[in-house]
Amino acid sequence: EVNSVPLTAIEFPYAAGEYPIVFGGTEADFTPVALLGVRNNENLFLGPDGAWQARYIPAFVRRYPFVFSHAEAQFVLCVDEEFPGFNREGRGQPLFTADGATSPYVDGILHFLQDYQVNFNASQRFCERLRELDLLEPMTAQINVEAGPPLMLAGFMAVSRDKLKALPAESLAELAKSDELELIYMHLQSMRNFDLLRERLGHQAEPHTIN
């Protein structure tokens, strides 16, 4: 029941072929997100059986029901006890060994989340670079469907092609050297996936427009 999830920059090559990648939040605090639907509480990538219908599943989804939390200048591994797979009857993967140490399963989760945090921090530096260069602008997606009024999706930002083209050569060279220019192009290319979202709605519709 979510129409977007956070995405780290390292995931762009895998996600850009399936999801629109945009930037959510405010102009002062934003992060890359993968759009999963065009209406509130709608994930178009879940099938009737609950299976994910895409080749790449964002790491934010894959890490569930585990998450890191900050506490006294350190990270604490937390688990959502409301997750249906969580139990205290000894079924499934144990969290601890008989002597109280973390199990190999938990060690794997910790390694995954540590990598995720590193990638998240790198993504925030990428976002800071976009902010410094003033490349983002608010955008609205309109998806026309055959039955009913057009669907409007707002509240996100995208890189302005005009602002990108207007950058001085020195700034473009710095973006290219840091591979951030490649990330920008993947983001822009992924905007074509709004058509895939429209198709997943199950309606015959006219091509969407981006304002």
CB 141 within 8 A of CB 208: yes
The pLDDT of residue 144 is 74
DSSP letter string, 1-33: --SEEE--GGGHHHHTTTS-EEEEE-SSSEEEE
State the Cα torsion 15-17-23-24 to the nearest 10°.
-70
Whether residue 172 is predicted with pLDDT greater than 70 in this model: the reply is yes
The pTM (predicted TM-score) of the whole model is 0.87
Q: What is the rounded average pLDDT for all residues in the chain?
A: 90
Q: What is the pLDDT of residue 209?
A: 46
Q: Which of 16-25, 101-110, 136-145, 179-188 has the lowest mean pLDDT?
A: 136-145
73-132 per-position pLDDT tens digit: 788 999 999 999 999 998 999 999 999 999 999 999 999 999 999 999 999 999 999 999
Q: Using alpha carbons only, what angle is made at residue 17 by residues 16 and 21, rounded to the nearest 5 degrees? A: 30
List C-alpha distances in Å: 67 to 25, 31, 74, 112, 135.
20, 18, 13, 10, 31
What pLDDT score does 205 carry?
Answer: 40
Question: How does residue 162 score in pLDDT terms, banded at 50, 70 and 90?
Answer: very high
CB-based contacts of 142-146 (< 8 A; 24+ apart in sequence): 142/208, 142/209, 142/210, 142/211, 143/38, 143/194, 143/197, 143/198, 143/201, 143/205, 143/208, 144/205, 144/206, 144/207, 144/208, 144/209, 145/198, 145/201, 145/203, 145/205, 146/203, 146/204, 146/205
187-205 mean pLDDT: 81
Can you give the pLDDT at residue 87?
Answer: 93
Amino acid 1: pLDDT: 86
Q: Tell me the pLDDT band of 200, cut-offs 50, 70 and 90.
A: confident
Gap between the Cα atoms of 205 and 195, Å rounded: 9
| 187 touches 21 (CB < 8 A) | yes
DSSP 91: -
pLDDT of residue 202: 67
pLDDT of 203 reads 39
Q: What span, in angstroms and rounded, lies between the C-alpha atoms of 133 and 153?
A: 25
Task: Give the model confidence (pLDDT) of 36-87 as tens digits.
Answer: 998 888 899 998 888 999 999 999 999 999 998 877 778 899 999 999 999 9
Structure confidence at residue 176 (pLDDT): 97
